[in-house]
Structure 1
Amino acid sequence: MEFQVFMQHLTNGISLGSLYALIAIGYTMVYGILRLINFAHGDIFMIGTYVAFYGVTLLALPWWLSFIVAIIFTCFFGMMIERAAYRPLRNSPKISVLISAIGVSFLIENLAIVIFGGRPKAFPIPPMFNKIIHIGGVSIVSLTFYIPVITLALLMGLVYFIHHTKTGMAMRAVSKDYEAARLMAIDVDKIISLTFGIGSLLAAVGGIMWGLKFPQLVPLMGVMPGLKCFIAAVIGGIGDIKGAVLGGFILGLGEIMIVAMLPALTGYRDAFAFILLILILLVKPTGLMGQKLTEKV
């Protein structure tokens, strides 16, 4: 493989891995506190993309304002889902919460088909994200640079928030023990709702960047990326933010490089994620950076 071609695929892999990492953080944050897999996370990702789309096309908002509105709306949308579907089951068996999460996912997907329609829509791409940059014979779309930078900035901000603010300290306390956190005068319900809000915010940013990178919107667009980002979180060690980022990059780079080196396996690109998941679970069930966790009761 020529060096220029290799660099082309490498940048694409880093870009895709950044997207997976950003969305996987939402899974891992919710699991870290609730021990709950929010299977509606991929659909929240889809909602954020559609809100951004209609903000630009229907309301004629500037693209940057539409993106901000979409991110804020999706943040509150995630908090509403937590309030309506998960909080009433807080003290129920884990299987009840899991069924609720799956039900919410199907509900959002089918409502989206009814409201948005099943026909694909073209996501508008601002010119600044669509410029071609030439570096040493390699042609790279400017969005390829923006995605890792935005992901890194949000990751650094999140890590700082969790480790250097009182709210972040409260989140870490709730992740360890609900009852002890309540005894420390921490509003557990508020912290859990905020966690869902932050995870949904990251999903919205990831969804918008996904729409810019793959500009075709359909109501089921969040299903496969949602599954892959869940796999990325498990590979890295679900519950660990840095592990989710590592898993996202491994998955993104692996997908692109396998297709680049073995074009005959292009049709099996999605299967790579599931094969990698099985191998990781066989070798290290807690993930690459995961630690053994006790079940909350």
Structure 2
Amino acid sequence: MFLEQLINGITLGMVYALIAVGYSLVFGILRLVNFSHGSVYAFGAHFALLFISMNLGVIPAIALSVILTGVLGVLIDKSALQPLRSKKSKPIAALITTIGISYIIQNLLMIGFGSQTKFFPKLFDYGTVNILGSQIGTTQLFIFLVSLVLLSVLTYIIRFTRVGLAMRAVEQNQKAAHLMGIDVNKVITFTFFLGGASAAIAGSLISGYYQMVYAGMGFMAGMKAFSAAVLGGIGVLYGSIFGGVVVGISESFAATYLGGSYRDAVAFVILILVLLVRPNGLFGKKGITKV
């Protein structure tokens, strides 16, 4: 039982980490908490379901959803956030704007797909495998492996590629990066695309795990992922991964030993306790001004 719940928690945690990475990427570049990210996650899950229902195949359907959701992330920035930056608006204006966008996306999903809960097919279900005497579903293993690979790819992009170097330069000092010939707007665009794409993958994986989608699914998942990002140190990629795993494991064990009604609260209790001791998060950098 313990091993099964631990694996359940790690599996959920890796998916939360994928969502949390979107928060960290945008915050690292713009010092902005993008509260529309949870609805972007729900958007990706709904369109994955739409493309799967068109008999395109699971992988092509998710790939199309990833591209479309990445484009949505870019549109959010270009239509709402970039004009605010050009006017040098206060950070609170952008923060409120992302909250408004979140509700707009959620309501558009209700209009387009309905407000009821819809069935999402289980992904790559080939039964169970025995690991140290515990029966673990192949779906869980698949979600864990996919999340691990994607997080590794994101880490590689940010740490070892030219665009990743540009992102880190913009994160440290936008004006200096611009003077060095870096197109700051293109870097921000790529960041929003990357965040939207990772949210779409996470939405597809979680929907396949729970076998359902609904318009408001992004609220709690987004809050847990935000908690994971803050817990690890928002703006720090590996901190988001660690925070996601902690939130996932705590949720899994809370549901088992305290009851399902407490599973959401435990993650936030841990977050509050950590922030009382380390306000910048476990791996956060001192001097980061949080919005």
Whether TM-score is above 0.5 comes out as yes
Aligned to 1:102: 99
Post-superposition CA distance 1:163-217 (Å, at most 9, x none): 2211111111100111111101111111001001001111111000001101111
Are 1:88 and 2:83 an aligned pair?
yes
How many angstroms does 1:259 deviate by? 2.8
Comparing 131-140 and 189-198, the one that deviates more: 131-140
CA distance in 2, matches of 1:175, 1:66: 33
Aligned to 1:289: 283
CA distance in 2, matches of 1:137, 1:95: 52
Aligned to 2:235: 239
CA distance in 2, matches of 1:130, 1:121: 23
How many angstroms does 1:132 deviate by? 2.0
CA distance in 1, matches of 2:97, 2:108: 16
Percent of aligned positions that are identical = 41
CA distance in 2, matches of 1:32, 1:95: 16
Are 1:79 and 2:68 an aligned pair?
no
Find 1:43's aligned residue among 39, 44, 67.
39
CA distance in 1, matches of 2:45, 2:125: 16
CA distance in 2, matches of 1:104, 1:42: 11
Gaps of 5+ in 2: none
Aligned to 1:225: 221
Aligned to 1:31: 27
Post-superposition CA distance 1:19-63 (Å, at most 9, x none): 111111111111011000110111111111111101111x22111
How many angstroms does 1:256 deviate by? 1.1
Q: Which amino acid aligns with 1:120?
A: T
CA distance in 2, matches of 1:7, 1:163: 33
TM-score (norm: length of structure 1): 0.94
Aligned residues: 289
How many angstroms does 1:243 deviate by? 0.3
Post-superposition CA distance 1:236-283 (Å, at most 9, x none): 0000000000100111111112332x33x4312111122112111111
Aligned to 1:275: 269
CA distance in 2, matches of 1:203, 1:114: 21
SS at match of 2:250: helix
User: CA distance change for structure 1 residues 73 and 13 in 2, over 3 Å: closer, same or farther?
Assistant: same
Are 1:142 and 2:132 an aligned pair?
no
Cα contact 2:21–2:240 (8 A) shared by 1: yes
Aligned to 2:160: 164
CA distance in 1, matches of 2:79, 2:25: 19
CA distance in 2, matches of 1:39, 1:200: 12
CA distance in 2, matches of 1:129, 1:186: 45
CA distance in 1, matches of 2:185, 2:284: 26
SS at match of 1:221: helix
Q: Which amino acid aligns with 1:287?
A: G
**What CA RMSD, in Å, does the superposition of the two structures yield over aligned residues?**
1.5
Cα contact 2:73–2:192 (8 A) shared by 1: yes
Are 1:118 and 2:115 an aligned pair?
yes
How many angstroms does 1:226 deviate by? 0.3
Q: What does 1:165-184 correspond to in 2, within 5 Å?
A: 165-184=161-180
User: CA distance change for structure 1 residues 275 and 136 in 2, over 3 Å: closer, same or farther?
Assistant: closer
Aligned to 1:55: 51
Cα contact 2:16–2:245 (8 A) shared by 1: yes
CA distance in 1, matches of 2:192, 2:283: 23
CA distance in 2, matches of 1:88, 1:129: 45
TM-score (norm: length of structure 2): 0.95
Gaps of 5+ in 1: none
Aligned to 1:209: 205
Comparing 44-53 and 287-296, the one that deviates more: 287-296
